[in-house]
A and B are shown apart, each in its own frame.
Chain A
Amino acid sequence: GQQVMQIPQYQHVQEGEDFTTYCNSSTTLSNIQWYKQRPGGHPVFLIQLVKSGEVKKQKRLTFQFGEAKKNSSLHITATQTTDVGTYFCAGREISNDYKLSFGAGTTVTVRA
């Protein structure tokens, strides 16, 4: 079955620095979604990428979908304490409309 791998598992960042988290799928994806979960909270949808090579930005967050639609990345610039949490990617297989396969997540902590 489909597997979505996410690295790194943990990211400790100095406030103001940039970092990137990566997501890789064993199969081609129809689309990929990113979610953020604050400590003690629930996952909240951030964005969806559908097209090969697509790049989307949300303020300091840049999301990219690979040309082969098997990988994705989230880049955060000038990290702030509000960025603390776990970021999940979730891929949807072409053959199944309903199932999302979640990566294990990247847990981000920020040093002030």
Chain B
Amino acid sequence: NAGVTQTPKFQVLKTGQSMTLQCAQDMNHNSMYWYRQDPGMGLRLIYYSASEGTTDKGEVPNGYNVSRLNKREFSLRLESAAPSQTSVYFCASSLTGYNQPQHFGDGTRLSIL
């Protein structure tokens, strides 16, 4: 029972390189989310997908793109990485509805030099 699986766990990039972070959930959840976590700033929503086939911008979408490949998978792409995107990235999923908790993956620690 894996829950939410993120790959890779760690990555170092050079400025300008591109990268796709992968996320998959096996809980049959409709909604999926990408957050970044920076010291002292909590979790900030980058993009979310309320259901398969839909994606919407969150609080900090600039420099990122997402793809909801199917119900299980939601990927986050950095087209041209910048040092300001150094962060820990968390994927989460939930059932649809305003009272549903979110289930998080273990995170991807991304450093951009």
Contacts and interface: CB of A to CB of B under 8 A. Distances in A.
Given A30-B98, A33-B101, A98-B48, A42 B106 contact: yes
Contacts of A105: 42
Choose among A41, A92, A101 the residue with the greatest number of B CB atoms under 10 Å from its CB: A101
Contacts of B99: 31, 48, 50
Nearest to B98: A97
Interface in A25-54: 30-31, 33, 41-45, 48, 50
B43 A102 contact: yes
A99 B58 CA distance: 8
Interface residues of B, number: 26
Size band of the A side of the interface? 20 to 34
Contacts of B50: 97-98
Nearest to A46: B101
B42 A44 contact: no
A97 B99 CA distance: 8
A100 to B, nearest CB: 7
Given A48-B101, A101-B45, 17 more contacts: A6-B42, A42-B104, A42-B106, A43-B43, A43-B90, A43-B92, A45-B101, A45-B102, A50-B99, A92-B98, A97-B96, A98-B50, A100-B45, A100-B102, A102-B35, A102-B43, A105-B42
Interface of A: 1, 6, 9, 30-31, 33, 41-45, 48, 50, 88, 90, 92, 97-105
